[in-house]
Amino acid sequence: MTLAEQVLNGNIRAAARLMRDIDDGRPQAIDELKQLYRHTGKAYIIGITGPPGAGKSTLVDQLTASFRKRGNRVGVVAIDPTSPFTGGAILGDRIRMNRHSCDEGVFIRSLATRGALGGLSRSTSDVALVMDAMGMDIVIIETVGVGQDEVDIVKAAHTTCVVMVPGMGDDIQAIKAGILEIGDIFVVNKADRDGADRTARELSNMLEMRNAVEGAWNPQVMRTEAQRGVGTEELVEEILAHRDFLFASGTIDNFLRERNQRHFMDILRDAVLGKAMLFMAENDSLDRIVSGMCDRCIDPYSAAEEIISKMMPDRKNCS
């Protein structure tokens, strides 16, 4: 059987191998994803984002436990930063969620960003698709927590939870990072710390000052102490309330169309770039262009147009 067929039959090791192939960018993984795609679309995706040190991994661990109590199967995609010097990553989120390691209803996969911006790995969406095909009811994606450009999660998740922590200047961070626009739910974690009330109050005030659209979802500010499991159940209830709102209001339809379009455009962009790189490798075009740019006898704009015209010759005169 193919890896895709094994995944659909519940083979966990096959799923792990396929996710590895996806993350490594192996071409054979695309054929497996083609087989799996028609079996996806059932999982509900939750995004957990926020600055480093906000306790996202601990909160994801508690959310996983809460959803398991409700009988849901849970997949977790945990994104870890890649070193810009060595290219390595610690991938330590599975250590924090070790208590779920023997639970067959939980599958945790860590991914390194490998230089990708936006708080997600390039393979995040495809790995989430595999978890969907595995029969996971809930897929939780935890971003790398880069602070200001982690907004890609809103493109992938049905519900985005922005996690903040008192005492880290989160009120200013929320304004300058545009986080108010991406959050469906705001979580003040480590709420037992001094300043938690102030952080929650200022967040609520900023949310009230937004130009809210009539009939749109009204984000709430929740308080949790993930280390002790305080407030986790209330957060799950709010997530489920947002899910109910998306389906009851019909907002889910537009969301899915936009997400599918972005997913397709990302795949198309990578495919075209890959073919362009192969095309230039055949005749050393890249070296010629770069050398010409250094001498200022070739500009990059004309060079790009030249490569595109050679890859896609004008066929308007062809019958």
pLDDT at 53 over 60: yes
Closest CA to 55 of 201, 185, 172, 162: 162
More confident residue, 120 or 86: 120
Using 50, 70 and 90 to split pLDDT, how confident is the model at 114? low
Cα Dmax for the chain:
74
Q: Residue 167, Cβ neighbours under 10 Å: how many?
A: 13
Instruction: Name 128's Cβ contacts closer than 8 Å, sequence gap at least 6.
Output: 43, 45, 75, 77, 139, 141, 156
pLDDT tens string 119-175:
456 788 899 999 999 999 999 999 876 544 556 788 889 999 999 888 765 555 555
* Average pLDDT of span 36-49: 95
**CA angle, residues 139, 141, 146, in degrees to nearest 5:** 175
Rounded distance, CA 63 to CA 229, Å? 9
Q: How far apart are the first and last CA of the chain?
A: 43
Q: Residue 41, Cβ neighbours under 10 Å: how many?
A: 11
Q: What is the pTM of this model?
A: 0.86
Per-residue confidence (pLDDT) for residue 296, from 0 to 100: 93
What percent of the chain is predicted at pLDDT more than 90? 55
Per-residue confidence (pLDDT) for residue 90, from 0 to 100: 54
Q: What is the mean pLDDT of the chain?
A: 85
What homologous superfamily is domain 40-249 in, according to CATH? Answer: P-loop containing nucleotide triphosphate hydrolases (3.40.50.300)
Using 50, 70 and 90 to split pLDDT, how confident is the model at 43? very high
What percent of the chain is predicted at pLDDT more than 70? 83
Per-residue confidence (pLDDT) for residue 118, from 0 to 100: 45
Residue 152's Cβ-count burial label (10 Å; 0-12, 13-18, 19+) is buried
Gyration radius from the chain CA atoms: 22
Q: Residue 2, Cβ neighbours under 10 Å: how many?
A: 14
Per-residue confidence (pLDDT) for residue 251, from 0 to 100: 94
pLDDT at 278 over 50: yes
Q: Residue 86, Cβ neighbours under 10 Å: how many?
A: 7
Q: Where are the domains of the chain?
A: 1-39, 40-249, 263-311
Q: Where are the beta strands (DSSP E) in the chain?
A: 44-49, 74-80, 106-112, 138-142, 159-164, 185-188, 220-223
